[in-house]
Amino acid sequence: MSEELAIPSESELHRRITTRLGDADPEEVAAILTAHGLDLTAPLPARRELVVHRLYCEGVKSTGTAAKDGPFTLDIPLGPGPWAIASEINSAGKSSVLWALSFALRGEGFAAFRRPETVGWFHYVRADVEVGGVAASVRLTFERPGRPHARLLSADALPALLALEGRGEEGPGVRTVSEAEPPEVEALIGRFMMDRLGLRPISVWTAEPGAPKGEDGQRDSTEQVHGWPSFFYALALNSANDTILLGPTTVGQLPVRLMQLFLDVPYASELTRLVTARKAELQEESRVARRADEDARARQQKVEPLRAALADAQQRLRDLRDAQPDITALLQAVERAAAQVVACQDAHQVAAGQLEAARKNRLADQRAARRARQSSAARLLLGALDPEACPRCDHDIDDARRAIEDTEHRCSVCANPLPDEPNDPEAAQEALTRIDDRLAASQAAETRFKAAADQAARTLEGARTAYEDAAAALAAARSGEAFTLLEQTQQEVFTLQGALTLAAGETTGALPALAAALSEPIAQPTGPHPLNDERVLAVATEVVKEVVDAHSRALFTELNGEILAIAQALGVTNLGSVNLNLAGHLNAIKSGAKHPYSSFSPVDRLRMRIAAVVGMVRVGRRRGIVSHPGLLLIDAPTADEVVPETAHQVLQTLYDTGNDIPGIQMIITSTESAVWDIFPEDRIVTGVDGRELF
C-alpha cells in the first residue's frame, strides 16, 4: 500500500460516517450497513497467484484439414516465466490451445481465442495449476462441443498431480473435490477461482433496457454482478478490434473497477457494493413515489366510475339479501317433514303387519274349505279345531298326517281313529256353508287391510318426497355459491367504499375513521434528519469513496508511469504521456495531441492493454503485494505488425518482462521467426518442424 496514505480502520470509517450524520448512534449505523451486507473491515494485503504447470488435451481433428487429420494428443509442461506457443505457419492451432486452456481456467472458453472450426475437435482438456498456493487439476470431458462435464481434483502437493498420466485421476494424496454437469461448469470454476484468489464480485448499476425515464431523467436500473469471467479479461489479452481497455464492458466504469481490484485499492469492493445498495434504495424510493403519483392521477380519473360501480354493487347486495330465504323456516319444515316420515313409517309397518295376518287367515280358510270338499273326515271336524301344529309340542302338522286323516280316518293331531261320519247331508251342507262364510270374511278382511297398506305406502312415499324437497330447499339456501356470491358482493362494496374514500375524501356512509385519519395533516419532523437506510448509505458512500479515490489517484499516478514505459518498449510510437483517471479514461497524448484509447490502432490497443496489466503487476509486486494473479495469456501480440524490427522488440520486451517480474507467467502465441531467436527451446511449444501443433 501507499506509504503516504494510511488505510482507515473499520471503527475510523464508522466514526467519520456517524460524525457526518450528526453524531448518530454508531451501533445503529453499523446495523444498517450490516443489514445491507456491507462489511467495512480493513482489507488484508492480497496474495493472488495463478500458475499453469501442465496442459493436456485429447481430441479428433476433422478430416479435410491441411495436415494431421484424426486423433491427437497434446501434453504441454508449463510453469512460471515466459512461454511461446509458436509456429511458422498460420492455422496451426495456437489460438485453439489458448482457448482450451482458457476453458479450463474460466469454465467457459475465452471468446477472443475461439476458432469455430476447432471447438468440436477437443474431447478432453486437463489443466494442472496452482491457485493461491493450492494444487488443483481441472478435468473437462466434452460430450458435446463446448459443453463439458467438469471434475476438480486436488492434491497435497503439486508433483502428485503432475505424476498422473493422461486422464488418470488416482494417485497418492490425490482426491476429487467437486464435479459439475455442463450448465454448472462455469459456476464451479468461477467459485473455486474466486475463493482461492480472495476475490469479491463487482456490482455495477445499469439502466434496464426500454425502461421509461422518470421526472429526474433517470431510468429504472438493475444490478449487474461481475465475477470471474469478467476478471479473466485481465489475464486473457488478444488483438481483437475492440475499444475497451479492460473488461467486457464500460458500463458502471467496470474497467477502472477492475484496475482498482487488481491494484488492491482498499475498500474498492466495498465501495461498489455501497453504490449498488444506495442506488437500489434510491430506486425503490423513486418507484414508491412514482407509484404514489400514478395512483393519485389514477384516483382522480376513477372517482366517477367508482361512484357508479359502488352504486351498482350496493344494489346487487340489496337484491341478494332480499333473495336470501328464511333458514329458520326451512329448518322447521325439514324437522316437520322428518317427523311425518317417521309417523308414516310406523303406520305403514302396522298396516303391513295387519295385511300379513289377514293373508295368513285367508290362506288357512282356503285350505280348510278345500279339504272340507275333498275329505269326509275333514267335514266331520269342520266345526272342530283344525290346528296347524300340535298344541303340545308345536310340531307342524304336515300334509302326510292330513292325508292319513283323509284316507285312514285317523286324527292328524293324536292319530286316534276318527268317529264315524254321520250320514246327515243337511249337517254337512251347513258345515260347508259355515266354512265358506269364514273364507269370505277372511278374504274381505285381507282386501281391506291391503287397501289400508297401499294407502299407508303412498302416504309414506309422499312424506319422503316432502322431506327430500324440504332438505333440498335447505341445502340450496345453504349452498356455498349463494353465500360466496353474497360475501363477494359485500367485499366489493367495502372495497369500493374504501377506494372512493381515498380517491375523493368521501365517506359514503362508511369508513369514517379512515377518512378522518386521512384528512389529518401529516406532522412534519422537527430536529435532526431521521436516520434512515438511504441517508446512512449516502454518507457511507461519500466516506468510502474519498478513501478509494485518494488511494486510486496515488496508485494510478504510479501506474501511469509504468504504462507509458511498457507501451513505449512494446513499440507504441510517439506516445508522450498517459493520465489514467478515476473514470477509466486513458487520456493519452500521442504525437503531441490528445489520443483516446479508441483511436489507437488495433495492434497498439493490444499493446496498451498489455502495458496496463503488466503495469498493475509491477506496481503490486513493488509494494509487496500479489494483487494480480500474475498469469497473462496473449494471443498474437505482433499479428498486425509489418516492421520486423518492431516485432522483434515486442517479443523481446515480453520475454524480458516474463523473466524480470517475480511470480509472473506469460504465455503468448506467435508466428514470428524472432521467437526462435529470443525464447529458449524449452520455452517454445510448437509442432514438428515448427508447423501444426496437432
SS3 content of the chain, % helix, strand, coil (to 5): 55, 15, 30
Question: Which residues constitute the domain of residue 456?
Answer: 327-478
d(CA 246, CA 240): 12
- Please report the DSSP string for 285-333 in residue order: HHHHHHHHHHHHHHHHHHHHHHHHHHHHHHHHHHHHHHH---HHHHHHH
User: Tell me, what's the pLDDT at 505?
Assistant: 56
Three cell numbers, residue 446: 285381507
Q: What is the pLDDT of residue 510?
A: 45
Are 350 and 204 found together in one domain? no
Section 576-581 average pLDDT: 92
Tell me the backbone φ, ψ of residue 22, rounded to 5 degrees.
95, 45
Mean pLDDT of 370-376: 68
- Contact predicate 198/132, CB 8 Å: yes
Lowest-confidence region among 98-107, 259-268, 375-384, 437-446 = 375-384
For range 282-295, the mean pLDDT = 66
What is residue 101's predicted lDDT score, i.e. its pLDDT?
97
Distance CA 369, CA 382 (A): 9
Q: Is residue 652 pLDDT above 90, yes or no?
A: yes
- pLDDT, position 394: 63
Across 234-263, average pLDDT: 85
Q: Which of 462, 491, 519 is the last residue of a domain?
A: 519
Same domain for 351 and 421: yes
Does pLDDT of 51 surpass 80? yes
Does residue 673 sit within a domain? yes
Q: Can you tell me the mean pLDDT for 368-386?
A: 59
Asked if 215 and 263 sit in the same domain, the reply is yes
Strand bridging mode 81-86 / 684-685? parallel
Total count of domains within the chain: 3
The three grid cell numbers given for residue 553, joined into one nine-digit string: 489517484
Same domain, 130 and 239: yes
Q: Cα 681 to chain center, whole Å?
A: 54
pLDDT for 527: 47
pLDDT at 653: 94
Contact 199, 261 (CB under 8 A): yes
Q: Give per-residue pLDDT as tens, 555-568.
A: 999 999 999 999 99
Q: Please state the φ and ψ torsions of residue 166, each to the nearest 5 degrees.
A: 45, -115
**Among 693, 672, 678, which Cα is nearest to 76's?**
693
Place of cell 476438480: 152
What share of the chain in percent tops pLDDT 70?
82
Residues 665 and 625 in one domain: yes
The residue among 611, 607, 608 whose CA lies nearest residue 562 is 611
Q: 87 with 676: CB under 8 angstroms?
A: no
pLDDT at position 250: 85
Residue type, 206: T
Does 575 or 490 have the greater pLDDT score? 575
Same structural domain, 318 and 337: no
Strand order in the sheet with 236-238: 236-238, 631-635, 665-670, 81-86, 684-685
* CATH code of residue 188: 3.40.50.300
For residues 227 and 83, membership in a common domain is answered with: yes
Question: What pLDDT was estimated at residue 211?
Answer: 63
Residues 438 and 467 in one domain: yes
Mean pLDDT (the chain, rounded): 83
Mean pLDDT, rounded, for 300-307: 72
C-alpha cell at 135: 494444487
399 vs 271, which has greater pLDDT?
271
Distances (CA, A) of 488 to 314, 382, 656: 12, 83, 82
Q: What is the pLDDT of residues 494-517, one digit of tens each?
A: 887 777 777 665 544 444 454 444
Return the number of other C-beta atoms located less than 10 Å from residue 427's C-beta.
Answer: 15
Asked if residue 352 belongs to a domain, the reply is: yes
Distance CA 452, CA 149 (A): 91
Count of alpha carbons within 13 Å of 10, Cβ hemisphere only?
14
* Confidence check: pLDDT of 66 > 80: no
Domain assignment present for 425: yes
203-207, 485-489, 524-528: the lowest-pLDDT one: 524-528
pLDDT at 293: 65
- The whole-number pLDDT of residue 406 equals 64
Residue 523 has pLDDT above 60, yes or no: no
Three-state SS at 300: helix
Q: Kindly list the distances between the CA atom of residue 46 and the CA atoms of 132, 194, 258, 525, 626, in Å, as whole numbers in the listed order.
A: 10, 12, 14, 47, 6
Same domain, 161 and 277: yes
Identify the residue with better confidence: 489 or 674: 674
Average pLDDT over residues 608-615: 92
Q: How confident is the model at residue 621 (pLDDT cuts 50, 70, 90)?
A: confident
Asked if residue 129 belongs to a domain, the reply is: yes
- Give pLDDT, residue 559: 92
Tell me the per-residue pLDDT of 92-137, one tens digit each, with 9 for 90 and over: 889 999 999 999 999 999 998 999 889 999 999 999 999 998 999 9
Over residues 367-376, mean pLDDT: 71
Query: Same domain, yes or no, for 545 and 670?
Result: yes
Q: Are residues 296 and 248 in the same domain?
A: no
Q: Are 603 and 239 in contact (CB under 8 A)?
A: yes
For residues 195 and 50, give the distance between their C-alpha atoms in angstroms, rounded to a whole number. Answer: 12
Is the pLDDT assigned to residue 677 strictly greater than 90?
A: yes
**Torsion angle, alpha carbons of 315, 319, 320, 325, to 10:** 160
pLDDT at residue 251 greater than cutoff 70 = yes
The per-residue pLDDT for 624 is: 81
pLDDT range class, residue 210, cuts 50, 70, 90:
low
User: What is the average per-residue pLDDT within 333-342?
Assistant: 86
Q: Is position 511 within any domain?
A: yes
Output 632 or 244, whichever has higher pLDDT. Answer: 632
The residue ranking higher by pLDDT, 521 or 532, is 532
CA 519 to chain centroid: 44
Helices 533-569 + 644-660 axis angle, to 10: 120
Same domain for 439 and 473, yes or no, is: yes
**Consecutive H or E run containing 139:** strand 134-144
User: Treating both helix axes as pointing N-terminal to C-terminal, what angle do 10-20 and 533-569 enclose, rounded to 10 degrees?
Assistant: 130
Q: Is residue 31 part of a domain?
A: no
Residue 96 pLDDT: 94
**Residue 325's Cα: distance from chain center in Å?**
50
End-of-domain residue from the set 463, 478, 493: 478
pLDDT score recorded for residue 152: 97
Instruction: Tell me if 682 is assigned to some domain.
Output: yes
399 and 378 in contact (C-beta within 8 Å)?
no
Q: Does residue 218 register a pLDDT over 50?
A: yes
Taking 60 as the threshold, does the pLDDT of residue 378 lie above it? Answer: no
Q: Give 384 or 636, the one with higher predicted confidence.
A: 636
Query: Do residues 276 and 45 make contact, with C-beta atoms less than 8 angstroms apart?
Result: no
pLDDT at 604 over 80: yes
Residue of higher predicted confidence among 162 and 640:
162
pLDDT at 382 over 50: no
Confidence category of residue 519, pLDDT binned at 50, 70, 90: very low
Which of the four pLDDT bands, split at 50, 70 and 90, describes residue 153? very high
Amino acid 313 reads A
Least confident of 199-203, 246-250, 285-289, 306-310: 285-289
Last residue of a domain, one of 490, 519, 548: 519
The 10s digit of each residue's pLDDT in 165-192 is 999 999 999 999 999 999 999 999 999 9
In a domain, 16, yes or no: no
What is the Cα–Cα distance from 520 to 184, expressed in whole angstroms?
Answer: 57
Could you tell me the three cell numbers for 154? 486436488
Cβ–Cβ < 8 Å for 346, 456: no
158 in Cβ contact with 128 (< 8 Å): yes
Check residue 517 and give its pLDDT.
43
pTM of the model: 0.65
| Chain position carrying cell 477509466 | 584
- Mean pLDDT of all residues in 310-319: 83
Q: Which of 118-127, 384-393, 460-469 has the lowest mean pLDDT?
A: 384-393
Is 502:518 a contact under the CB 8 Å cutoff? Answer: yes
